[in-house]
Structure 1
Amino acid sequence: MACGTADSLVWEILKFENCCFRVKTDTLIFCRNEDNVTGICDRKSCSLANSQYGTVMLEKGKLILKTKTAERAHMPSKMWQKIELPENPEEAYKIIEYEMQYWDAWLIEKVKFRYGRLLETLQNMREMRKKEGQVKSLPIKKKIERRNATREQRALNVAHVEYSVQEELKRRLKAGEYGEIYNLNQAEFQDNLDELAGEEEEVDFVDASDFEELVEEEEEEVLENAQ
């Protein structure tokens, strides 16, 4: 790797002064610069302190080999040369070796390693995108389904019986079978309601054959309270 006087001066400034890309931990010092080929803050890995440098980037779903040389250092807009790499590792390695054939062997190995990691990341992203469109089938618990169906049927039966009793009483009241309307004691009626509200309601399920008997009992209770 070419190490000129300018590169050494840049590294001395970055090493002893503040660098916005440096992240210190208890064990290592990392670099947040996206062009850093290793992610470590050291002399070889620093993309700012090396006029000859190479790395691999992932841009818009494509793997790009980025290289820079000292000859293009005076043109910041054209400093980096970009070459698209295929997703075939053998072909990509040949391109990397050809473009960096006279460079430091350490940097070439790091660029190849970074290419392999980014290729794996790209493949995982595509697999995750495929799974997002698939419909996940959840297992159906038969026991819970039967329990809910039984509770629903019981609730419907209770509601049907209560509604039938109310309708039958209304029909008999309209038909005049109970005679005149009785004026009950409001205080006693309210006391009975309070007692019923304080007790836990118990629901008894009746068959259709006992329907007439239930209506007769309701009728007798109304007549007794009226007397």
Structure 2
Amino acid sequence: MKNLIIASTSTIHGGNYLDYLLPVLENHFANCETLLFIPYARPGGITEDAYTKNVSTAFAKINKKVVGLHTFSNPVEAITNAQGIFTGGGNTFLLVTQLYQNKVMEVLSKAIANGIPYLGTSAGSNITGISMQTTNDMPIIYPPSFATLGAIPFNLNPHYLDADSTSKHMGETRETRIKEFHSFNETPVLGLREGSWLDVKGESIILKGTLKARWFAQNQDPVELDPETNLATL
């Protein structure tokens, strides 16, 4: 049975890394002594070692040890034998490229399908969808494919921002960009606002947090979804 926490962000405004989610994660990873961390997205160009250290500091608060996937000579074996897995945020293009180059995209997908507890934040959440094509990130590197894990039957847009009617910014809104995606693609997209997450258990996909999420389907008006909505019914 699938067992995922898919979060828009690792850090909410004014908080420390993962603090807002730690009570949920303590339960989510209750049967895990050690978590395998996938640091490939490297936010801001941080090194994989430094990124893993930051994650280790956060998870030490709930008495979990963290090891980085980059430290294993055989990443396929590391994922296969992991007790729980966390993929952090950063650049989705870089993350997907590294997953393919290290031949672990399919292995990770199978591990998730088999029920390994998984946490994704930001880019690590993007990859749980059908494709990474609704990411907000710059294409700093060219991945072999845009196809991702397909752990949920739609795409995500983490860090979803609503249009600000008082702003003088003339660029595209997130809603406009998602509509552009739907000019060529049928895959639904969930705009996941900061501080919200999805709790996936088997076929159930429950929206968690205090905020609504915005659901986009091709040739339909966007719909606001309340917390505790089961997206599997959409």
Q: Calculate the TM-score normalised by the size of structure 2.
A: 0.22
Q: Calculate the TM-score normalised by the size of structure 1.
A: 0.22
- Which has the larger strand fraction? 2
- Which has the larger helix fraction? 1
